[in-house]
A and B are shown apart, each in its own frame.
Chain A
Amino acid sequence: MFTSKMAAECQRVDRSSHSMDKSITLPADEIFRNLENAKRFAIDIGGSLTKLAYYSTVQHKVAKVRSFDHTAKETEGEPLYEISMQEEVTARLHFIKFENAYIETCLDFIKDHLVNTETKVIKATGGGAHKFKDLIEKKLKLRVDKEDEMTCLIKGCNFVLRNIPHEAFVYVKHADSEFRFQNTHPDIFPYLLINIGSGVSIVKVESEDKFERVGGSSIGGGTFWGLGALLTKTKRFDELLQLASKGQHTSVDMLVKDIYGGSYGSLGLTGDLIASSFGKSATADNEFSKEDMAKSLLHMISNDIGQLACLYARLHNLTRVYFGGFFIRGHPVTMHTITYSINFFTKGEVQALFLRHEGYLGTIGAFLKGAEEDTPPMLPHSLGTTALSHPRFDPNQYSWGENYAGSSGLMSVSPDLNPMQRTRSGTFPFDMLEMDRLERQLVNLPLLQDPSSYIPDTVDLSEDALAREYWLYCFEEALDGVVKRAVASQPDLPEAAERAEKFRHKYRHKLQTLRQQPFAYGSLTVRSLLDTREHCLNEFNFPDPYSKIKQRENDIALKYFQKAIKSLEELSWEQRQFALVRGLLAGNVFDWGAKAVSDVLESDPEFGFEQAKRQLEERPWLVDAYDQWLERLKGPPHKCALFFVDNSGIDIILGVFPFIRELLCRGTEVVLASNSSPALNDVTNSELQILTQRIAAMDLVIQSAVKEDRLTLVQSGSSSPCLDLSRLDKELAGVVRERHTDLVVIEGMGRAIHTNYYAMLSCESLKMAVIKNSWLADRLGGKLFSVVFKYEVPPSHKTTTQDHVPGTPS
């Protein structure tokens, strides 16, 4: 604590000095979005920044599929299901950060746009809350309810750590990518939070509700600011930091070499170490430059805090240490000096961790506090049933996802910008974070070998400049096609073209931002690029641009299903096994998401299943474990296979279904996991329900499997073309556990190559994909349509599978 209250008091001066121009008009579609439905407010007013939070509901168009009545005889030319666009209401948390100078404008804006009148209270925290209390109460007609700053901070910290992958990062100043994002550890506790406000608070957090301020220090951001102002006559914190970044501390500090003439060898202290901060100003009569003094002061304070942090971390035996507070807030200089200090004092045993949304912790916490106390004002009824089963609106009951479309990236507002320059530009800088409530609670796949070291993404584009360049280019190139398809998906809506242009603008802007700041949303990956695109499409009401294509492809493929099964059954056992795998791979060639394929498909619609098979690489494949797989098939059947499916149409119907049909025949139960909401042409859970019914109607094996519950469909909880095995539907995890799943099949480029290629599972796994991108193929040492067929058996499980009694019914 000690964060911002005093800073807020001092801000009075600053406030008047650049108080804002009333003529600023706020762009309503950019800031304070969805205010009409805003229901609960929280505000965190710090020394210079105000952070506002509210809960709102967002109306979205969603594509729904509904099966036609199947009691009637199949009619030639009739699609098997209908697609309809419906309005759905989803819950979203909005967080906005802006300078205190604009607080009045913002409050006016909120007052003008707020429709909902149920809200009576605004939760407030931060040092400046009391100062603006009257203003807030007057403007918004809401009662200000103060919350403890530290409690809010911790609550907020827990929330972001739990819900935002790549929230925490390590800062490496001179590295190719300065930000090294950390994987979300399945268990976020215990950790140490070092909050550097005016003073320093050191808090040990052991669980959601259990935390303790174990220590602190009075030498903090206020010391840097106050002492810095005295020494350099520079008033603003940011300016002091700028001075410091230009200074040389060695002219002010007494170094080891100033005393020893060199290093102090027997203790291993190098000559450049600071022996005494400001030691030279005690003995030399020199004039010292402002820059040098500021730098020396920065080193002194950062080192001191780093040392204390290490001592506390050691005493409490903690290795995860997060830093926050206005001293840190996005300032590369302080992140660097703190990191340096921590490395020095712990020899790298403890890493200084920073948070992408550090500035929002207080307001998130205050918001959550309010939400916990309230009974739900009104729950969106079109939401999934799980959402309604909780009598209280407790955000911790849900999983939340960062919305890349509505969130500003890290460093979107550079702290180095001169505030005076900013005011002149007509609007003012703000930073946003939007979190969507996910319909399902997300958990780890129980079959991950080591959840704490699992990294979904195969290539981190923030660290691989060449790959980054390629993929950014690739996504930019593909944008025209995506826009075209989006418009085509809504032929009845005349404004679709306009919306699609907005989408284009937004996504292109995101790509440009990512080109400059690959770290904006955590590690840049193919997955994050794809997800960002999906978020942007949704933002402009293009929930499922592929719905019609999927429908058509499903229709075509279904017609071939029986024929395909028949020809497979004519083969010998061994021939059949190979044909099944080839069929699966050939089916996977049909992927509208990949450019090379969509080109062929769009120019030649007759491109058929058989032709696809001919496109496939001949064995030996690029990665070829088929022989081992075949050997395995000669052994006892698997108990239960979890299959992460990929595309609609030929892939799912002619590739996956025959394959799992064979598994079912062997006595293996099958769980098909598909996306909860649309992404590209991937088959969604609701589409798969209909497809399964239709296939069951014409195939007895599938029919009995469905009937006997040996074939189960589950949602993955995802709406991404890629797959993060650490964020899967809780129900899926339950089914996997109940059925003693011992085989996981992951199919397709997005799920098995871009992600999970290196994922280690605790049971047998198959990863299959056709490389449909020549650049990627090249990278992997193959060529277009090269095949990856990875069959992996965890070492410890080899014996247990041997022990299996063949054909044991479950």
Chain B
Amino acid sequence: MEQLNGHQGENESLDTEDEDEAVQPPLKQSRSKNDICNNFRVDSCGKTEATSTTTGGGSVIDERRTSNSTCRQRLDSLRKNRPPFPWFGMDIGGTLVKLVYFEPKDITAEEEQEEVENLKSIRRYLTSNTAYGKTGIRDVHLELKDLTLCGRTGNLHFIRFPTQDLPAFLQMARNKHFSSLHTTLCATGGGAYKFESDFRQMADLQLLKLDELDCLISGVLYIDSAVSSPSECYYYENPTDPEHCVQKPFTLENPYPLLLVNIGSGVSILAVYSKNNYKRVTGTSLGGGTFLGLCCLLTGCSSFEEALQMASQGESTRVDKLVRDIYGGDYERFGLPGWAVASSFGNMMCKEKRESISKEDLARATLVSITNNIGSITRMVALNENIERVVFVGNFLRVNTLSMKLLSYAMDYWSHGQLKALFLRHEGYFGAVGALLELLNPS
């Protein structure tokens, strides 16, 4: 999914509305999500019966307390409305395409026979590989096994590839005669709009376009409720003490109000007051795309992984000007610690210093300044919105422990322990999950 930030334009409407509604959380989204919620209950119910593995939090259990008979009734009615396989959810962002695929594991012999060859081949192709072409990757560690969706049990797969390789993907869809399956392809993210005609023309596919923020939120709420072990949500304990900073599971029960910070190419910050009541408070254009873009220009690297790798080996304090570089120590007059960054890239004003640093230092400094900036904007939004719980998601955080720890530290330190930074394991896939949910339970 892609985050859009408001800059260089004059007509963003959401921000103004925010101001009048600081006390009473606004009902911005008129679309009702009640259908979806009901269906979730049924699904969970079915899942409990089938696998008995769910142990989830209190609120989820409450929701599941439905009698078996009602359960079956709904199951039956559902079966009729269930969309045909394959079940995909797609989020086409500015940098990455995120794809979630539900692989049914409860296929009956009867179904097996009915299943057309195209569908079988797609299923086999996706589930038997972990990499597709040069750039497509299946995040196996994120796979959710034995998940029950719409009365069907199966595995949820998480796949990503760069947006610039979308033409290759469409070519593949065409080769595999995807259009013959008569499935609805639910897609969100800006690319759903931008590439809609490409889907139609190149692969004869009709997209069902979905709002990315709606999808993001439904995806987050669903995954958090459906996944119990390992816990979807976690935080870093002792973020200000590097020695004892450890990842700990966190139960997101009764999470509202909640600040959801989605860091993709850019950043969107949402205040979520309930399942269907949220607003986009603001955003910033300094996001993952900025980190990677600057790293590419500064170090000549070509991938996010490479940039992160470099950053992990660099030293940002050679690039940045710290408070102590100016004041020799803390700036006590204003309570600023000597280690705080006074000016990102500030040392680079000097020729000699420009010549004395490594690419790794530059990558690290870029990572630190982008991350800290997101942290400080988030903290200010949290204060303005009076929200204490912050959940960071988005692909910028993928394999990026450095940033997560920095964010944890920043939230904790500057808020004097008031704010808690939370993270979700499926970082960047929530939009795609939300899109899949729309396929199953159209609102």
A-to-B contact residues, CB < 8 Å = 1-2, 5-7, 9-10, 13, 127, 148, 150-151, 197-199, 201, 213, 215, 217-223, 225-227, 229-231, 235, 252-254, 256, 258-262, 264, 266-270, 272-283, 288, 293, 299-300, 303-304, 307-308, 311-312, 314-315, 340-341, 343-345, 347, 349
* Residue from B6, B19, B381 having most chain A Cβ neighbours under 10 A: B6
Chain B residues whose C-beta falls within 8 Å of the C-beta of A223 in the assembled complex:
343-346, 369
* Other-chain contact of A345, B282, B287, B344 (Cβ < 8 Å): B282
B175 at interface, CB cutoff 8 A: no
Query: Shortest distance in angstroms between A288's beta carbon and chain B's nearest beta carbon?
Result: 7
Complex contact A275–B12 (CB within 8 A): no
Complex contact A199–B95 (CB within 8 A): no
- Bound CA–CA A522/B341 (angstroms): 37
* Other-chain contact of B326, A2, A215, A264, A268 (Cβ < 8 Å): A2
Chain A residues whose C-beta falls within 8 Å of the C-beta of B346 in the assembled complex:
2, 6, 198-199, 218, 222-223, 226
Complex contact A222–B287 (CB within 8 A): no
Interface hits, B291-340 → A, CB 8 Å: 292-298, 319-321, 323, 325-326, 331, 333-336, 340
Chain A residues whose C-beta falls within 8 Å of the C-beta of B288 in the assembled complex:
276
* Other-chain contact of A254, B196, B265, B334, B341 (Cβ < 8 Å): B265
Query: Shortest distance in angstroms between A240's beta carbon and chain B's nearest beta carbon?
Result: 10
- Bound CA–CA A262/B197 (angstroms): 13
Residue of A nearest to B92 (CB): A259
Residue of A nearest to B162 (CB): A283
Complex contact B12–A10 (CB within 8 A): no
* Other-chain contact of B285, A7, A215, A218, A275 (Cβ < 8 Å): A275
- Bound CA–CA A804/B223 (angstroms): 78
Complex contact A282–B373 (CB within 8 A): no
* Residue from A213, A277, A283, A304 having most chain B Cβ neighbours under 10 A: A277
Map CB proximity to A onto B1-32 as digits: 1 under 8 Å, 0 otherwise. 01111111111111110010000000000000
Query: Shortest distance in angstroms between A281's beta carbon and chain B's nearest beta carbon?
Result: 4
Query: Shortest distance in angstroms between B11's beta carbon and chain A's nearest beta carbon?
Result: 5
Residue contacts A-B, CB under 8 angstroms, 29 given: A2-B326, A2-B343, A2-B346, A6-B321, A13-B350, A148-B333, A198-B342, A201-B334, A213-B336, A219-B286, A219-B373, A226-B347, A227-B344, A227-B348, A254-B289, A267-B13, A268-B14, A269-B9, A272-B9, A274-B7, A274-B266, A276-B95, A276-B264, A276-B287, A277-B285, A281-B294, A314-B19, A343-B10, A344-B10
Query: Shortest distance in angstroms between B375's beta carbon and chain A's nearest beta carbon?
Result: 11
- Bound CA–CA A6/B342 (angstroms): 10
Q: A275-B4, A275-B94, A308-B377 are in contact. List 8 more A-B contacts (CB 8 A).
A: A6-B349, A6-B350, A199-B342, A223-B369, A260-B193, A274-B8, A304-B284, A344-B10
Interface hits, B184-240 → A, CB 8 Å: 189-191, 193-196, 211, 213
Complex contact A217–B321 (CB within 8 A): no
Chain A residues whose C-beta falls within 8 Å of the C-beta of B8 in the assembled complex:
272-274, 299, 303, 340, 344
Given A259-B4, A267-B4, A278-B290, is A150 in contact with B334 using a C-beta cutoff of 8 Å? yes
* Other-chain contact of B362, A230, A315, A347 (Cβ < 8 Å): A230
Interface hits, B357-379 → A, CB 8 Å: 362, 369, 372-373, 376-377
B274 at interface, CB cutoff 8 A: no
B-to-A contact residues, CB < 8 Å = 2-16, 19, 93-95, 162-164, 189-191, 193-196, 211, 213, 264-266, 280, 282, 284-290, 292-298, 319-321, 323, 325-326, 331, 333-336, 340-351, 354, 362, 369, 372-373, 376-377, 380-381, 383-384
- Bound CA–CA A326/B348 (angstroms): 16
Query: Shortest distance in angstroms between A309's beta carbon and chain B's nearest beta carbon?
Result: 10
Query: Shortest distance in angstroms between A230's beta carbon and chain B's nearest beta carbon?
Result: 5
Chain B residues whose C-beta falls within 8 Å of the C-beta of A6 in the assembled complex:
321, 325-326, 342-343, 346-347, 349-350
Complex contact B345–A311 (CB within 8 A): no
Query: Shortest distance in angstroms between B122's beta carbon and chain A's nearest beta carbon?
Result: 27
Residue of A nearest to B267 (CB): A276
Residue of A nearest to B366 (CB): A227
Residue of B nearest to A278 (CB): B293
Complex contact B297–A219 (CB within 8 A): no
Query: Shortest distance in angstroms between A292's beta carbon and chain B's nearest beta carbon?
Result: 11
Given A9-B350, A303-B285, is A230 in contact with B298 using a C-beta cutoff of 8 Å? yes
Complex contact A254–B266 (CB within 8 A): yes
Complex contact A267–B12 (CB within 8 A): yes
Complex contact B296–A282 (CB within 8 A): yes
Query: Shortest distance in angstroms between A198's beta carbon and chain B's nearest beta carbon?
Result: 4
Main secondary structure of the interface of A (DSSP, over half): helix
- Bound CA–CA A288/B296 (angstroms): 12
Query: Shortest distance in angstroms between A271's beta carbon and chain B's nearest beta carbon?
Result: 8
Query: Shortest distance in angstroms between B155's beta carbon and chain A's nearest beta carbon?
Result: 30
* Other-chain contact of A270, B11, B95, B193 (Cβ < 8 Å): B11
Given A1-B331, A10-B350, A230-B362, is A344 in contact with B297 using a C-beta cutoff of 8 Å? no
Complex contact A231–B326 (CB within 8 A): no
* Other-chain contact of A218, B12, B286, B287, B320 (Cβ < 8 Å): B320
- Bound CA–CA A275/B350 (angstroms): 31
Query: Shortest distance in angstroms between B167's beta carbon and chain A's nearest beta carbon?
Result: 14
Complex contact A279–B293 (CB within 8 A): yes
Complex contact B380–A279 (CB within 8 A): no
* Other-chain contact of A268, B13, B190, B347 (Cβ < 8 Å): B13
Chain B residues whose C-beta falls within 8 Å of the C-beta of A341 in the assembled complex:
7
Complex contact B341–A218 (CB within 8 A): yes
Query: Shortest distance in angstroms between B104's beta carbon and chain A's nearest beta carbon?
Result: 32
Chain A residues whose C-beta falls within 8 Å of the C-beta of B287 in the assembled complex:
276
Complex contact B12–A282 (CB within 8 A): no
Chain A residues whose C-beta falls within 8 Å of the C-beta of B344 in the assembled complex:
199, 218-220, 222-223, 226-227
Complex contact A293–B7 (CB within 8 A): no
Given A277-B290, A278-B289, is A347 in contact with B266 using a C-beta cutoff of 8 Å? no
Complex contact B2–A275 (CB within 8 A): yes
- Bound CA–CA A85/B237 (angstroms): 81
Complex contact A279–B94 (CB within 8 A): yes
Complex contact B94–A254 (CB within 8 A): yes
Query: Shortest distance in angstroms between B61's beta carbon and chain A's nearest beta carbon?
Result: 35
Chain B residues whose C-beta falls within 8 Å of the C-beta of A198 in the assembled complex:
321, 342-343, 346, 349
Complex contact B377–A275 (CB within 8 A): no
Query: Shortest distance in angstroms between B15's beta carbon and chain A's nearest beta carbon?
Result: 7
Complex contact A315–B384 (CB within 8 A): yes
- Bound CA–CA A315/B265 (angstroms): 27
- Bound CA–CA A167/B3 (angstroms): 40
Complex contact A2–B342 (CB within 8 A): yes
Given A6-B321, A259-B191, is A230 in contact with B293 using a C-beta cutoff of 8 Å? no
Chain B residues whose C-beta falls within 8 Å of the C-beta of A150 in the assembled complex:
333-334
Complex contact A226–B163 (CB within 8 A): no
Query: Shortest distance in angstroms between A379's beta carbon and chain B's nearest beta carbon?
Result: 33
Complex contact B351–A235 (CB within 8 A): yes
Query: Shortest distance in angstroms between A524's beta carbon and chain B's nearest beta carbon?
Result: 30
